[in-house]
Amino acid sequence: MDSAGADLAPKALAFRLRQQAILSDFGVEALRATELLPLLQRATELCAEGMEAQFCKALEYKPHQDCLLVCAGIGWAADAVGTTIIGADLASPAGYALKTGRPVISNHLENETRFRTPKLMADHGIRRAINVLIANRDGNYGVLEVDDTREGQFEEADIAFMQGFANLVGGAIERQRAEARLKAALERQELLSREMSHRVKNSLAVVAGFLGLQARGSDNADVKNALADARTRVEAVAQVHDQLWRQPSLEAIDVAGFLEALCAKLQESAPRHRLVCRAARINIPADLAIPLGLFVNELVTNAIKYAYPDGEGEIRVEARPDAAGTLILAVEDDGAGLPEGFDPAAARSASLGMRIINSLARQLGGTLAVAPDVQGAHFSLRMAPLA
């Protein structure tokens, strides 16, 4: 090798190593990118830098018009990007790369017989160009092209560098489109879930209305009371669904907002009582919301009915986590209290209300307890640790 060749070898090696470093850095950006056009613009800037070229552009294929739109670029006139259309037929270098999937190198556009020179390139005095396909599993997105007005040679080794950029862009486009589809599907699923919960609430309200009509039409006091209790429980389920579809997220429910809204509704039906709700801001899985709401509703309703013979008094609802992450749910009053020897675990053989309360406690994975030697009735439920 002569001395000139020996001088060129280290320069060529340094040039290729620098290209690999630029490509590696862009790979990180492509993985992090959330928007397409800024990523394409960055690709054209770095690709031009790595090729030591004056111009670079990303072309998006528009199948309905069978053309290529310059959607990002560097070196071009300010009004070229976003507006310039280039033919996608086999007679243009970019169109040939798009339609055949093969890279195109043209180092002498002025003498080129295979292709015509697009007007944009002619207006900028482009003398040589290299094109590679941007593609992924969704299909062909478009073309990445580097151009220059100066004499020189684009080489086969440059194709590998540019194709690396094009592949990273194609992968990022595929990922962003998949994420967009997934987001749309999740939003639709959440919308359908909210709509379903809303409709369930409305349907239950209709059932509650029918129970009320039937109760008013009966002359039997026991039947009236049973139907009234049934209506109250159906309305409670409807109220829980009403709160569910209003929540910001259906995956997890904020206990504080959920119980505060539920207690406010219960307060409307018992204006002579004072219903106090103290709940911590803690999220629980949505599938626990219905049994939790019904549990609170049943105990508060019992307190409204039986705690204060004179019809006035305070009822407290509290929800708080302990140090182990366990949710403690309590419903308390200062009224007449529970019968002597009352055992909540044995109460399932007694009233329907207590059987329901015990059943809901089991659904919540908790242990129901009653505080001894206190004024009134103090129920508490220690739920299983929240994941």
293-338: per-residue pLDDT in tens?
A: 889 989 998 899 889 988 789 999 999 988 777 889 999 999 998 8
Split at pLDDT 50, 70, 90, the class of 122 is very high
Q: What is the reported pLDDT for 83?
A: 94
Question: Average pLDDT for residues 255-279, to the nearest whole number?
Answer: 89
Chain segment 77-103, per-residue pLDDT in tens: 989 999 999 999 999 999 999 999 999
d(CA 142, CA 136): 10
Please state, rounded to an integer, the average pLDDT across all residues of the chain. Answer: 87
**How far, in Å, are 197, 242, 287, 358, 381 from residue 363 at the CA level?**
20, 21, 10, 9, 12
Q: Ramachandran region of residue 150, left (φ > 0), alpha (ψ -120 to 50) or beta?
A: beta
Q: What is the reported pLDDT for 7?
A: 56
Q: At 192, which amino acid appears?
A: L
In this structure, how many other beta carbons lie within 10 angstroms of the beta carbon of residue 58? 29
Angle at 186 between CA 182 and CA 191, to 5 degrees: 150
Q: What is the reported pLDDT for 323?
A: 77
Split at pLDDT 50, 70, 90, the class of 6 is low
The contacts of residue 116 (CB under 8 Å, 6+ apart) are 91, 92
DSSP labels, 157-189: HHHHHHHHHHHHHHHHHHHHHHHHHHHHHHHHH
The contacts of residue 60 (CB under 8 Å, 6+ apart) are 68, 69, 71, 141, 142
Question: Average pLDDT for residues 176-183, to the nearest whole number?
Answer: 89
Strands of the sheet containing 104-106, edge to edge, are 85-87, 67-74, 55-62, 139-148, 128-136, 104-106
Chain segment 216-244, per-residue pLDDT in tens: 888 888 888 888 888 878 887 887 777 77
Q: Which of 78-87, 275-284, 340-349 has the lowest mean pLDDT?
A: 340-349
Give the percent of the chain with pLDDT over 90: 42
| Residue with the larger pLDDT of the pair 229 and 180 | 180
User: Is a pLDDT exceeding 80 seen at residue 175?
Assistant: yes
CA end-to-end distance (rounded Å), the chain = 70
Write out the two tokens for 249. Answer: 């997220």
SS3 10: helix
385: closest CA among 334, 323, 332, 343? 323
d(CA 133, CA 142): 6
Q: Are 333 and 365 in contact (CB under 8 A)?
A: no
Give pTM, 2 decimals: 0.59
Q: What is the reported pLDDT for 51?
A: 94
